[in-house]
Amino acid sequence: MARRVTKAIFPVAGLGTRFLPATKAMPKEMMTLVDRPLIQYAIDEARAAGITDFIFVTAKGKSALEDYFDTSAELERTLTEAGKTDLLETLKSTYMPSGAIAYIRQHRAMGLGHAVWCARRLIGDEPFAVILPDDVIDGPKPCLQQMVEAHAETGGNMVAAMEVPRDKVSAYGILDLGSANGSLLRVRGMVEKPATEEAPSNLAVIGRYILSPQVLTNLSRAEAGAGGEIQLTDAIAEEISNSGNVYGFRFEGHRFDCGSKAGFLQATIAFGLSRPDLREELAEYITDIATPRIAAQ
Ligand code: UTP
């Protein structure tokens, strides 16, 4: 059995340029799907997977993220006095135990690999998870929990993998696959943002990882890769030749790319429709506005 994963890194220091001007003064991770910010979905998924130490890699302009997890005496008092127990429970579900969250600063957005490396002193010599909050995954079981369970058997390094259309491979890290055992795939190679004709498959890495501390050592030596950024993919790929212990994990669930406008809007609709208090009204509205357009096409 591999060592249990209890620490997770949340790299949230990116500039979020695809959501400008909104992200000029607000972290992308605070954008809400229905009524919960993206970061709350990520934290809930990590908690379900048994994570107890939450490490945020933040940057200038992200202080709303830090405030979000504080307790709020005034809100608590107001809701208690008004007898709004449901809302009080909702509020308390955002509270985190003292000391459970650490914030590390990335001084310049030098890429995902660099952001993860910034957290190295808090990881030490144990496996750790990385969660990108803008990948929101809706599934029968939280994605990271599926991966932690699989990792308990395999150890090593594991990346969440999903098929993407061939013409989209150049937006992702793409896997070169060896043997498969159910949802577990042995990885022979990884390439960041390949040209369509050079991609070894259409199986893409998305924002959930379980990594060995060796990846942090690889990152210490890393030089800028695709797009001039320090790439996490390159540091994981090094482990294929070092230890041969890199797996792709085909998770069960639907992934929404909430870092893109289209993905974020799709997630908003899907999560809205999954809420019993909103479903009917929203479905009716969508049918209403979609019908004349479909008929007109
Ligand atoms: P993205 O590629 O989505 O970049 O980063 P971004 O800056 O957030 O958004 P756009 O592309 O400008 O719209 C993927 C993840 O890696 C983090 C981001 O915060 C996001 O969670 N990241 C990226 C960092 O923490 N630091 C970096 O230097 C780059």
pLDDT, residue 297, reads 60
pLDDT, residue 45, reads 97
Q: Report, as an integer, the average pLDDT of 9-21.
A: 95
Q: Which residues pair with 176 in a beta bridge?
A: 189
Q: Are residues 12 and 137 in the same domain?
A: yes
Cβ(127) – ligand 1 distance below 6 Å: no
Here the tokens at position 80 are: 């208690």
Is residue 90 assigned to a domain? yes
Q: Are residues 281 and 222 in the same domain?
A: no
Q: Are residues 136 and 228 in the same domain?
A: yes
Q: Are residues 178 and 276 in the same domain?
A: no
Q: State the distance from the centre of ligand 1 to the C-alpha of 32, rounded, in angstroms.
A: 17
DSSP label at residue 156: S
pLDDT, residue 151, reads 96
Omega before 140 cis (within 30°)?
no
* pLDDT one-digit tens code per residue, 168-184: 999 999 999 988 888 99
Cβ(199) – ligand 1 distance below 6 Å: no
d(CA 207, CA 136) in angstroms, rounded, equals 9
Cβ(231) – ligand 1 distance below 6 Å: no
| CA of 28, closest atom in ligand 1 | 8
d(CA 31, CA 29) in angstroms, rounded, equals 6
Percent of the chain with pLDDT over 90: 80
Kindly tell me if the per-residue pLDDT of 294 is higher than 70.
no
Cβ(27) – ligand 1 distance below 6 Å: no
Ligand 1 pocket test, candidate residues 20, 31, 134, most atoms within 8 A of CB: 134
Q: Which residues pair with 175 in a beta bridge?
A: 190
Q: State the distance from the centre of ligand 1 to the C-alpha of 28, rounded, in angstroms.
A: 9
Q: Which residues pair with 102 in a beta bridge?
A: 55
Cβ(224) – ligand 1 distance below 6 Å: no
Element at 15 (helix H, strand E): none
Instruction: Please report, for the domain that includes residue 247, its CATH number.
Output: 3.90.550.10
Q: Are residues 149 and 287 in the same domain?
A: no
pLDDT, residue 172, reads 93
* pLDDT one-digit tens code per residue, 33-64: 999 999 999 999 999 999 999 999 999 888 89
Is residue 1 assigned to a domain? no
Question: Which DSSP string corresponds to 114-140?
Answer: HHHHTTHHHH-SS-EEEE-TTEEEE-S
Q: Are 192 and 167 in contact (CB under 8 A)?
A: no
Percent of the chain with pLDDT over 70: 96
Kindly tell me if the per-residue pLDDT of 126 is higher than 90.
yes
User: What's the pTM?
Assistant: 0.93
Is residue 273 assigned to a domain? yes
Kindly tell me if the per-residue pLDDT of 99 is higher than 80.
yes
pLDDT band at 290; cut points 50, 70, 90? confident
pLDDT, residue 244, reads 82
The 3-state DSSP composition of the chain as helix, strand, coil percent (nearest 5) reads 40, 25, 35
Q: Are residues 48 and 131 in the same domain?
A: yes
pLDDT, residue 295, reads 58
pLDDT band at 221; cut points 50, 70, 90? confident
pLDDT, residue 135, reads 97
pLDDT band at 243; cut points 50, 70, 90? confident
Residue of 243 and 293 predicted with greater confidence: 243
Q: Report, as an integer, the average pLDDT of 187-214.
A: 94
pLDDT, residue 11, reads 97
Is beta strand 184-192 parallel, antiparallel or unpaired with respect to 173-181? antiparallel
Kindly tell me if the per-residue pLDDT of 1 is higher than 80.
no
Q: Are residues 266 and 255 in the same domain?
A: no
Is residue 107 assigned to a domain? yes
Ligand 1 pocket test, candidate residues 18, 20, 56, 112, most atoms within 8 A of CB: 112
Q: Are residues 145 and 278 in the same domain?
A: no
Is residue 13 assigned to a domain? yes
By the 10 Å C-beta count (0-12 exposed, 13-18 middle, 19+ buried), 173 is classed as buried
Q: Are residues 53 and 127 in the same domain?
A: yes
The count of domains in the chain is: 2
Q: Which residues pair with 256 in a beta bridge?
A: 136
Is residue 116 assigned to a domain? yes
- Domain range for 88: 7-259
Q: Are residues 188 and 288 in the same domain?
A: no
Q: State the distance from the centre of ligand 1 to the C-alpha of 14, rounded, in angstroms.
A: 4
Kindly tell me if the per-residue pLDDT of 86 is higher than 90.
yes
Is residue 2 assigned to a domain? no
Here the tokens at position 235 are: 């540091």
Residue of 64 and 225 predicted with greater confidence: 64
Q: Are residues 66 and 188 in the same domain?
A: yes
Q: Are residues 217 and 241 in the same domain?
A: yes
By the 10 Å C-beta count (0-12 exposed, 13-18 middle, 19+ buried), 218 is classed as buried
Q: State the distance from the centre of ligand 1 to the C-alpha of 12, rounded, in angstroms.
A: 7
pLDDT, residue 247, reads 96
Is residue 184 assigned to a domain? yes
pLDDT, residue 222, reads 73
Nearest to 185 by CA among 143, 206, 157, 208: 157
Kindly tell me if the per-residue pLDDT of 117 is higher than 70.
yes
pLDDT, residue 186, reads 94
